Structure formats: C-alpha cells, structure tokens
Amino acid sequence: MMVLAGCGKTSTDPVVAPPIPPVATLNPDFIRGVDLSFTPEILAATTQFKDNGQTKDLLQICKDKGINTVRLRVWYNPVDAHSSTAEAVEFAKTVTAKGLNVWLDIHFSDTWADPAHQSLPAAWKNLGFTVLKDSIYQYTSRTVQAFKSVGISLKIVQIGNETNSGFLWDLGRVGGSFDTNWGNYAALVKEGIRAVKDVSSSTKTMIHFAGIDGSDWFFNNISQQAISYDYIGLSYYPFWHGKNLDAIASGMNTLISKYQKPIIIAETSYPFTLGWNDYTNNIVGTSSQLIPAYDATPDGQNAYTKALINMMKNLPGQQGLGICWWAPEWVSFKGPTATNGSTWENLTLFDFSNNALPALTSFGSYQ
C-alpha cells in the first residue's frame, strides 16, 4: 500500500483532477493453457470436435481461439499406453507443429497423483532414500530428454501434481504426522528440478499445490528448504476450493508478496450445465457447487472465465502469469450409455454436441 504525505494547499493552486488509476493489463507472456491429456485416447475413438457447427481439428480450434500452451500429464508406468511418456511425446509433436507450447506435468506415480494419493511407482516401492533420489534424477532427465530428442523444448515441467502433502509417499510425505519430513521432500524435489535444468536450462519448473487454504504454510516450508523453482502452480476449482474470488485473489497476493514468484492457475474449470451426456456420475451436478454469480450455463461459464482472467490481471506486478483449463476436451466420447465415460462432460469447453463454447473464445482472447 502506498501512503502519500500531505501538503499545504492555497486558493491560488490550480484545481487538479484526481489521477485515474492505471488499468491493469495481462502479463505479455500470459499462459492460456489447456490440459489435453485425454486427447490421444479421445481422438483414437474417432471423436470429432466442432467450431460454429463445423468439424475441425481440436488443436486447430484451440489455436484459432488463442490458446498458446498445452499441458500433458505423464505417469511412470501406467496400466496401458495412456499418460505414458511415449504417448505424451508423440502427441507433443503434433502440439508443437501447431505452434503451441508444451507444459509437462510429471506425477511421479503409475496413476493419478493428488492431495489424497501420491503412491510410489511400483518399480520404486522398495528403494532406499538414496537410491530413490537418484531414480528421480534419472527418470526426470530421461523424460525431459525424450522430448528434447525430437526437437521439443518444454516450456514448463511440474515436479509433482497437487503435492499438498508431498509426493512419493511415505519417503517424500509432509504434513500432519509427517511434518518433520520436509528435508526428505526437499531433497527429492531438488533432484527433479536439477534434472530438468541439466537437460533444458530454459525450461521453467513449477511446484503445484491444490487450493488456497494451506498454500502459505506449504510454500513457507518450501522457502525454508531453499528449493529453487520458477513458478507457483495452484489448482482452483470453486466446488472444492471456495467460491469467494476475492478471498482467492487475497491468498494469491499473499503468496506473491512473500515468495516473489509468478503464479499460474494450473487447473480450473466451471460447468456450462448441470445436465449429463452419459451414464457416468459427474463431479459437479448441483447448484450448491456453483458460485452464486455464475450459473451453470454457457453464459455463466463464460462470465466465470472472464472473472478469473480479471483476477489474474489484477495481481501485483503482472505476476498472474496464466491459467490452464483442465480436461476441456473430456467429452462423453464413449457414448451416451457409458458408465465408465466422462465425469467431466459438463465442465468442458465443448457442449454436448462437441461444439466449442463461448468460454473457449473468451479464454483465448479476453483481455
């Protein structure tokens, strides 16, 4: 906050209009990202996407709308080819051919990693701590090198996904009864970061936390461990992390002020309907999960998108560096009666006819 010292004023002083506050602007490097990790599986099912009713290539639609970055997750040894390094590298070739950047989300697990699940890869289950550190370095190095070897320069690499309680449990677990374990967590993260920078010094590294509550505690411990990283990544889903955008902005202001790092909303989404398009239960399905100002309609989703960009735009020092919409393409591609289909089809940026929604246009171009 700036405090101005007062000064005397006389009747001969000219009348001066109060200054007009500067209009906040987006960082010129603002990331408009989409996590398209499901895309190889969805396209393999011959799913088609549309813009204004016309069938078009999914990546071309995203690029035409102004999207500049694609986020891809990687699992260590998944049960099938999906989310493998090989699949991500192959898809990344197409992404970069479209002129889009690639942001890699390494989960350091064979499956989903999130605040409640951070399982070691099965192949690492019985490793001692020293060997585990070396395994992280070697695996991260190989993974980044796999992209580099085909000419892909990764824009961002996450060292873990939603690591609120650490990762690689229990050796890298923190919080609760593991709150004395920060040294172990830090040592493991540092090996991942070191591997990224050794292979590609220009690639930025991110540490990812889900939500705002607890983020100051988490990044304060990161700071105390002297972990050198580039970006704070936050997940923000109103139905899980709070419906007060002012409170979210205040929390991000605190993080920027204390830790001097740009912030990217690494995951978000919002529904365009509370309906469903297959027989798979959806994550969001009731009005109680909504921000009251934004209803579950295409217009409400669009307004939420603009509000989120405005929030990032108004963070101090243009340190709101981007937003990534999670699974905007995870439509009901397995058919209308699938019970193992999408839990997310009403949170995508495509309607139930797979036609691009207004929020995708705003997300890619709104200033």
Report pTM.
0.93
Report yes or no on 227 lying in a domain: yes
Amino acid at 126: N
> ∠ at Cα 354 (324, 105), nearest 5°?
25
Residue 7 has pLDDT above 70, yes or no: no
162 noted as active-site residue: yes
Backbone dihedral angles phi then psi of residue 181, each to the nearest 5 degrees: -100, 15
pLDDT for 21 equals 55
Structure confidence at residue 19 as a pLDDT band (50, 70, 90): low
Q: What is the 3-state secondary structure (H, E, C) of the chain?
A: CCCCCCCCCCCCCCCCCCCCCCCCCCCCCCEEEEECCCHHHHHHCCCCEEECCEEECHHHHHHHHCCCEEEEEECCCCCCCCCCHHHHHHHHHHHHHCCCEEEEEECCCCCCCECCECECCHHHCCCCHHHHHHHHHHHHHHHHHHHHCCCCCCCEEEECCCCECECCECCCECCHHHCCCHHHHHHHHHHHHHHHHHHCCCCEEEEEEECCCCHHHHHHHHHHCCCCCCEEEEECCHHHHCCCHHHHHHHHHHHHHHHCCCEEEEEECCCCCCCCCCCCCCCCCCHHHCCCCCCCCHHHHHHHHHHHHHHHHCCHHHCEEEEEEECCCCCCCCCCCCCCCCCCCCCCCECCCCEECHHHHHHHHCC
pLDDT digits (tens, 9 = 90+) for 163-180: 999 999 999 999 999 999
Domain that holds residue 123: 31-365
Catalytic residue, chosen from 162, 191, 329, 345, is: 162
Report yes or no on 188 lying in a domain: yes
In contact, 318 and 26? CB cutoff 8 Å: yes
Cα distances from 307 to residues 5, 11, 303, in angstroms, run 34, 44, 6
pLDDT digits (tens, 9 = 90+) for 33-87: 999 999 999 999 999 999 999 999 999 999 999 999 999 999 999 999 999 999 9
In contact, 329 and 42? CB cutoff 8 Å: yes
Report yes or no on 1 lying in a domain: no
Report yes or no on 212 lying in a domain: yes
**Cα distance between residue 80 and residue 160, in whole Å:** 21
**Category of 322 on φ-ψ map: left (φ > 0), alpha (ψ -120 to 50) or beta:** left
As for how many domains the chain has, the answer is 1
Residue 20 has pLDDT above 80, yes or no: no
pLDDT for 6 equals 32
Structure confidence at residue 215 as a pLDDT band (50, 70, 90): very high
**Cα distance between residue 121 and residue 74, in whole Å:** 12
Structure confidence at residue 18 as a pLDDT band (50, 70, 90): low
| 315-328 average pLDDT score | 97
Residue 1 has pLDDT above 80, yes or no: no
Find the CATH number of the domain harbouring 256: 3.20.20.80
Expressed in angstroms, the distance from the first to the final Cα of the chain is 25
pLDDT digits (tens, 9 = 90+) for 220-264: 999 999 999 999 999 999 999 999 999 999 999 999 999 999 999
**Cα distance between residue 219 and residue 259, in whole Å:** 8
Backbone dihedral angles phi then psi of residue 356, each to the nearest 5 degrees: -60, 135
**Cα distance between residue 355 and residue 331, in whole Å:** 10
Buried residues in 128-161 as b, exposed as e (16+ CB within 10 A): eeeebbebbbebbbebbebbeeeebebbbbbbbb
Report yes or no on 47 lying in a domain: yes
pLDDT digits (tens, 9 = 90+) for 116-166: 999 999 999 999 999 999 999 999 999 999 999 999 999 999 999 999 999
Residue 11 has pLDDT above 60, yes or no: no
Residue 16 has pLDDT above 60, yes or no: no
Residue 200 has pLDDT above 70, yes or no: yes
pLDDT for 35 equals 99
Amino acid at 65: K
Mean pLDDT of the chain, nearest integer: 94
Report yes or no on 263 lying in a domain: yes
Two tokens at 366? 């709104």
pLDDT for 24 equals 86
Catalytic residue, chosen from 87, 191, 267, 329, is: 267
Residue 276 has pLDDT above 70, yes or no: yes
Report yes or no on 11 lying in a domain: no
Residue 344 has pLDDT above 70, yes or no: yes
Report yes or no on 329 lying in a domain: yes
